[in-house]
Amino acid sequence: MKRAVFLDRDGVINPEVLNPSTGQWESPHKAEGFTLFPWTASALRLISKHGYLLFLASNQPDFAKGKTPLEDLIAIHEKFASAIQDEGICFSDFFYCFHHPSGNVPGYSRTCACRKPNPYFLLTAKKKWGLEMNLSWMVGDRHTDILCGKAAGTKTILIHNEYAKEETGGCPPDFTAVNLKDAARIITGFF
């Protein structure tokens, strides 16, 4: 019986970055701006050790919005992938949505199937890996992550993000956590 933990990236695995021109905390735009939280590696290692496959499910709309070149988003992914590899952590797959419904880059500016809260990536992984979704988890810092997990049939953990805009209309998560370390404690202590 295979089970998985699906992870949002920005605000969960790595800190968001302050954009001085807008005063907003955003996804990193450059590889230099990407760094793991100090607890990320040990938290992921703990989750893996308890028999969960790891998957990333991340919306990265800044290319579609004309804010970040695709090469920079790929460079950020490569820095992330090599940082966790150096820590001996293995993800079964990385899923990124580079679309946005109201972007300005042709081909990427459209309604797509894969943008969270759509559960497309989670259901793709379920099918490919034969996952038991009711034994699996979605961990994110936005209500769209929670909606995505619920739609895919996983349990959900909302990580507190003090910079996330107040969002309403979401459904409540099964658990809340202060960070990924706390989420790992909840997941591994659950059964």
Q: Which of 141, 123, 126, 67 is nearest to 98 (CA)?
A: 67
Element (H, E) at 180: helix 180-188
- Which tokens hold the place of 156? 């959900």
- What ranges in 32-164 are assigned the alpha helix state H? 40-49, 70-86, 120-129, 143-152
Among 5, 7, 8, 17, binds Mg ion (CB under 5 A): 8
Give the chain's largest Cα–Cα span: 48
Residue 174 beta carbon to Zn ion: minimum distance, rounded to whole angstroms? 25
Near Zn ion by CB under 5 A, which window of 40-48, 104-112, 132-140, 148-156?
104-112
Residue 131 beta carbon to Mg ion: minimum distance, rounded to whole angstroms? 22
Footprint of Zn ion on 108-167 (CB under 5 A): 112, 114-115
Near Zn ion by CB under 5 A, which window of 27-35, 91-99, 140-148, 162-170?
91-99
Residue 11 interacts with Mg ion (CB under 5 A)? yes
Among 3, 99, 100, 143, binds Zn ion (CB under 5 A): 99
Q: Which of 189, 191, 179 is nearest to 43 (CA)?
A: 179
- Which tokens hold the place of 159? 């990580």
Q: Which is nearer to Zn ion, 10 or 184 (CB)?
A: 10
From the centroid of its chain, how far is CA 95?
A: 9
Element (H, E) at 139: strand 137-140
Residue 181 beta carbon to Mg ion: minimum distance, rounded to whole angstroms? 16
**Residue 10 touches which of Mg ion, Zn ion, none (Cβ within 5-8 Å per kind):** Mg ion
* Percent of the chain that is helix, strand, coil (3-state, to 5): 30, 20, 45
Residue 16 interacts with Mg ion (CB under 5 A)? no
Footprint of Mg ion on 55-84 (CB under 5 A): none
Q: Which is nearer to Zn ion, 115 or 150 (CB)?
A: 115
Q: Which residues lie near Mg ion (CB under 5 A)?
A: 8, 10-11, 141
